[in-house]
Structure 1
Amino acid sequence: MIRLVLPFLLALLTALPARADVEIQEITTPGGLNAWLVEEHSIPFTALEIWFRGGTSLDRPGKRGAINLMTATLEEGAGEMDALAFTRAKEALAADFDYDVGDDTLTVSARFLTENRDEAVALLRETLINPRFDQDAIDRVRGQVISIIRSDEKDPKDIASRELKSQAFGDHPYGTDSNGTVDSVTALTREDILTAHTDSMARDRIYIGAVGDITPEDLSTLLDDLLGDLPETGAPQPVDIEPGLTGGVTVIPFDTPQSVAIFGHSGVERTSEDFFAAYLLNTILGGGGFESRLMTEVREKRGLTYGVYSFLVDKDHADLWMGQVQSANNRVAEAIEVVRAQWADIAENGVTQEELDAAKKYLTGAYPLRFDGNGRIANIITGMQIQDMPIDYPATRNDKVNAVTLDEVNDVARRYLKPDALRFVVVGQPKGLSSTN
């Protein structure tokens, strides 16, 4: 019967009123761990986020894919439990654990009921401190990862993304697929997985957010018990890198009726005083759905695509301003020219006050909707920490957006938008388009 409770509570929490005026408490445990907490005692449920800075960019040379494989194997048995026993124990507690990893962050998400908190946390602790990494489990997950890699090798979007990353970052960890290659993943040993665990999951890189039915005192005790036995330090973080993209087109032939184009140049640091102006500018350019310039010019006026987008990519060690468009092989060249023309027009002539006001309304109106449940809030407040945002950011964010002036947005457009530096990677059989440079 208890197994039905957690899905019900998750649905109920999703239905709670959205709010951005959350009250965040900062706590430091006796063991020296820092965490942010939002107490919510109306429902006997807690969402916990534990993030480790570094992610797959910490893979050792020649071991690409090790941290991804390790993360995917964390819940395949822990302590005295094999994979099946662990799954049964988790289900019996109506607990939910999720492990994920990206270029810069390894994340652990846990959801548990107050009545089962101690047992759920003890079970979670085993996966973090005492994962088994049985050889049969590693081999089973390895097969799944290799299947994903082979599937991605046939996906035009993934092909384009890998090529753009390679051109942008070269030998830096950002320059290769975090899943690894078939050869690199095949060659990984259990010892490599153990090394990946200690390299990436250490106390010197932890960020923690908790939301729900738990007090600061109980959370402090929980965290020291849960994380106190992790290694003090992990592998060193990668160096910063300036994207090496140059203007032009790269065409990768691929048998498909539509071509995919992914494009970009250097971006804006999240900590820059220009970021909010750039964020608004990108909303106008290509991040604001059907009201954006790119969508209007490429889709609505010319019918060249179903969708075209631009977005800011903020990595720990590099920043990009990117976009994507997909179009028929005989029209993709025109779509690219329209994208480049819009990039150049805004860089030279800026945007209008009407466009800026609409972008502000869009961004400020949508923001509170993100705070629609304990899990989402825990995710947000942990992300705030890893991005060095102030604890009052949810309350002040919309004010920061509204404070941006038209002159500031257009100044950012002149300084950051570089149409001649855009590199387009096109995968397909584009007509009238060939590789340059």
Structure 2
Amino acid sequence: MNAPTRPQAHASRIQRVVTPGGVEAWLVEDYTVPLVALEFSIRGGSSQDPEGKPGTAYFLSAVLDEGAGPYSADAFHERLDEFAIEMRFNADRDGLSGHMRTLVKHRAEAFDMLRLALREPRFDAEALERVRAQIEAGIRHEMNDPDSMVGRAFFEVAYPGHPYGRPGHGTLESLPTIGRDDLDAMRRRLIARDTLKIGVVGAIDAAALAAELDSVFAGLPAKAELTPVPNVAPLGAGTRKVVDLAIPQSSVRYGAAGISRRDPDWIPAIVVNHVLGGGVFSSRLFREVREKRGLAYSVWSQLAPFDHSALHFGGTSTKNERVAESMAIIEEQIRSLAEDGPTEEELDKARKYLIGSYALNFDTSTKIASQLVRIQVDDLGIDYMDRRNGLVAAVTLEDARRAARRVYGDGKVLVAVVGRPAGL
């Protein structure tokens, strides 16, 4: 289980640990439960997939724990089970991440297994083919899943010819072309110290952590070999992309250019997004689309700040004959916020919710470690946890209206639909 924690106490207890080998991590010591949780992130991800081989980074993340050093895939997993070690890896558009959690008494074994996974993966043929088949099965499912299909269609139109427009999990055509050499080449290019961010929470002190971190990360290459990715704005605002599928209910995605995570108006934009569709029960979209008209069970919006682009983004699912009506209401609400901003009452409710719910990001050791990494990746400063709620509380109506104009612009959005929407 994850260790329970008191989130309000952690911002002031973050220690910046720099090892003799030059590896940096943020640490929160917590001896409530004899566990250590580690999260890390390395820049790169599927945006670094070689031309013609989408899915390479995701494939790599899926096989890092499938045998390493002296251990075959079966032996590696048996050892993780023997010592009750959690370990997993993932790749998204902009990065490759890892998670490790262990009992303190098995700390040495856990860090050693992490070292082997990152520095001595085996990429045995049998393991590669098994994992490849699993990913291909997932892709076949996604090819017939409306939510997966609509997300893929949206990004293909928004980012044509850009790495963000490629399928991160790969395709049935690309997966068979990705071999051991491709995976090892990507590992050597991506997994390096210069983009490494680490967060650790648990029953370990700074000196002990420094030694463990050096054993895992100090031997990595000093600098990643990243292919430059162009900064772009999403395209297609004001257009519709319909993928025909014989289903009674359409899946919808909509969005347009957003705002950078490092923009001074990011916090006001978060508040405005909550007013639009980020709030579960208090948002305009929930009230107008679900409560008043019963058009959909779920409707949502979010801000998606990627490394090389930014979106405001949302979605819903509704009956084919009501897609046009639903989108008309969603676009009306976006335009209304862009022109007039939120009301004072909406602003007050959004600030209170965002402040009150922030603690939910820190109720387990793993969540805290993940937040430590996220704050480093976004370069927000080690005191951000202490400052964040104050930044939200300080958002004025003028700030919110300015952010709404900037994020939602003229109110036009790209809309992708999978289904048979009538009148769209």
TM-score grouping bracket, smaller chain normalisation: over 0.9
Q: Deviations over 1:320-345 (max 9, x none)?
A: 00110111011111001011111111
Written as runs of structure 1 = structure 2, the 5 A alignment for 1:82-231 is 82-231=72-221
The alpha-carbon distance between structure 1 residues 420 and 209, as it changes in their structure 2 partners (threshold 3 A), is closer
Deviation of residue 30 (structure 1)? 1.0
Letter paired with 1:367: Y
Matched residue, 2:8: 19
What do the CA deviations read for 1:215-241 (whole angstroms, capped 9, x no partner)? Answer: 111111111111122222223242322
- Residue correspondence of structure 1 range 388-403 to structure 2 within 5 A: 388-403=379-394
AA aligned to 1:165 is F
Offset of 1:377 from its aligned partner?
0.6
Q: What does 1:8-407 align with in structure 2 at a 5 Å threshold?
A: 10=1, 13-14=3-4, 16-19=5-8, 21-22=10-11, 23-236=13-226, 237-407=228-398
Q: The residue matched to 2:422 in structure 1 has which SS?
A: coil
Unaligned runs of 5+ in 1: 1-9
Q: Distance in 1 between matches of 2:367 and 2:191?
A: 23
**C-alpha spacing 1:130/1:109, structure 2 compared with 1 (3 Å):** same
How many residues are treated as equivalent by the alignment? Answer: 422
Partner amino acid for 1:270? R
Q: How much does 1:41 deviate?
A: 2.3
After superposition, the C-alpha distances for 1:341-393 in whole angstroms (9 at most, x for unaligned) are 11111212221111100001110000012111211111110111001111111
2-side partners of 1:287 and 1:20: how far apart? 27
Q: Secondary structure at the match of 1:291?
A: coil
Task: Indicate how the Cα distance of structure 1 residues 20 and 247 shifts in structure 2: closer, same or farther if over 3 A, else same.
Answer: farther
Classify 1:20/1:305 alpha carbon distance in 2 versus 1 (closer, same or farther; 3 Å): farther
Residue 419 (structure 1) shift: 4.8
Partner of 1:6: none
Range that drifts further, 424-433 or 238-247: 238-247
Aligned AA (1:282): N
Which is worse superposed, 388-397 or 40-49?
40-49
* Paired residue secondary structure (1:269): coil
- Gaps spanning 5+ residues in structure 2: where? none
Task: Give 1:420 deviation, angstroms.
Answer: 4.5
Contact 1:56-1:105 within 8 A present in 2 as well: yes
Partner secondary structure for residue 77 of structure 1: coil
Deviations 1:130-174 (A, max 9, x none): 010001110110000111111111111111111111111112111
Deviation at 1:18, TM superposition (A): 4.5
- Secondary structure of 1:78 counterpart: coil
Q: Distance in 2 between matches of 1:31 and 1:284?
A: 46
How far apart, in 2, do the equivalents of 1:246 and 1:42 lie?
A: 50
RMSD, matched Cα: 1.3
Tell me if the contact between 2:158 and 2:414 (Cα under 8 Å) persists in the aligned partners. no
Say whether the 8 Å CA contact 1:142–1:185 is kept in structure 2.
Answer: yes
Q: Work out whether residues 63 and 192 of structure 1, in 8 Å CA contact, stay in contact via their aligned partners in 2.
A: no
Post-superposition shift, 1:42? Answer: 3.2
1:100-147 residue CA offsets vs partner (Å, 9 max, x unmatched): 111112111111122111122112211111010001110110000111
Match of 2:400 in 1: 409
Residue aligned with 1:331, SS = helix
Give TM-score scaled by structure 1 length. Answer: 0.94
SS of aligned partner of 2:281:
helix
CA distance in 2, matches of 1:31, 1:199: 20
CA distance in 2, matches of 1:124, 1:21: 26
Identical residues among aligned pairs (%): 39
Superposition TM-score, scaled by structure 2 size: 0.97
User: Which amino acid in structure 2 is aligned with residue 372 of structure 1?
Assistant: D
The amino acid of 1:380's aligned partner reads: Q
